[in-house]
Amino acid sequence: MGTKRVSPAILHPLKEALALAFWYKKDLRAFLSSCLGRGEVVGHLDWTDYKRSIVAHLVDSLAADQHRHFDDLLNLILATADITDPAHLKRLEDGKTRYAEAVDALDTLRKQVEPYRRLRNEEEEAERRRTMDRAQAEMQRAFAEKLEELRQLFYEIVTLPAQPRGYALEKFLNGLFALFDIDAKAPFKVSGEQIDGAFTFEGEFLLEAKWQEEKTAVAAMDAFKGKVERKLDNTLGLFLSMNGYQDTAIAVYSHARPVMILMDGSDLSAVIDGRIDLQDLLRRKRQHAARTGEVFISAYTLIG
């Protein structure tokens, strides 16, 4: 290559590889931050948009201004080509297919990458890899520390009386949703004995959370259903009852078109113990409700 410029021919394979190698936007964001740093390039992306749109906007922006961003774009190409085994995809529903698609896309990219490797000498390439490894290790450490902090807060909440427990649960849920890059429209707030909120996750959701001694009955779910149905047609509800639901309540709401999905305290335990990603849990609960009509399935059933 005579000049330091990335050919347009590699941009589409790069977009495909990035979009398929990362299922969760938080993982994609962590990878991009390790490649490009935490500055304006990654921070100014619209992380509420679809994943493919985010990737396309990033790659096209870097390619359009190679005078400033050639090194960034080269780093991104080389780092993506270095992904050889996106094994985390195997844990998803239909994971074998998703894994195979990602591996094919990465192989396609890798076949075009050798000319770009020659733009870096061995010392520069070794330093790039060390820098990436350090950045990824730091982000993993920060995520693990925050999850451990939330785990300890959760254990403390269990011992609290009702009123302070509600405020502590509010803090916990805000931190949990932020950690997993789920966009809360405003901080969740305690109202009486319940927590109300709204968030965006592949669609619009209302949230209601209760932590009371008795299991949640049909009447409470009826009231929440009314709130959901007063919103736009594509709005769903997430009802969190820490102590679970009466069997009759689950049965009633599993014999109609689902307008909400249900979580309980054991679901949260599975998330903070690292057994399942919160985004994966919400997605698989919604898929289960759409396919079966059943509004509750335990996280531990999903992960087997």
Report whether 228 contacts 237 (CB < 8 A). yes
Q: Looking at residue 301, what is its pLDDT?
A: 94
Which of left, alpha, beta for 275 (phi over 0: left; psi -120 to 50: alpha)?
Answer: alpha
Mean pLDDT of the chain: 88
SS3 of residue 190 by DSSP: strand
Q: Is 0.75 surpassed by the pTM of this model? A: no
Report the C-alpha gap between 143 and 246 in whole angstroms: 35
Tokens of 184: 């809360």
Structural contact between residues 282 and 254, judged by C-beta atoms closer than 8 angstroms: no
Predicted confidence band of residue 47 (pLDDT cuts 50, 70, 90): confident
229-247: b or e for each residue (b if 16 or more CB lie within 10 Å)? Answer: eeeeeebbbbbbbbebbbe
pLDDT in tens, 149-187: 999 999 888 888 877 888 888 889 989 998 988 888 877
Task: Summarize the confidence of residues 90-114 as an average pLDDT.
Answer: 91
Confidence of residue 123 (pLDDT cuts 50, 70, 90): low
116 in Cβ contact with 79 (< 8 Å): no
Other residues' Cβ atoms within 10 Å of the Cβ of residue 13: 21
Cβ atoms of residues 178 and 184 within 8 Å: yes
Q: Strands, DSSP E only, in the chain?
A: 183-184, 189-191, 194-200, 204-210, 236-241, 260-264
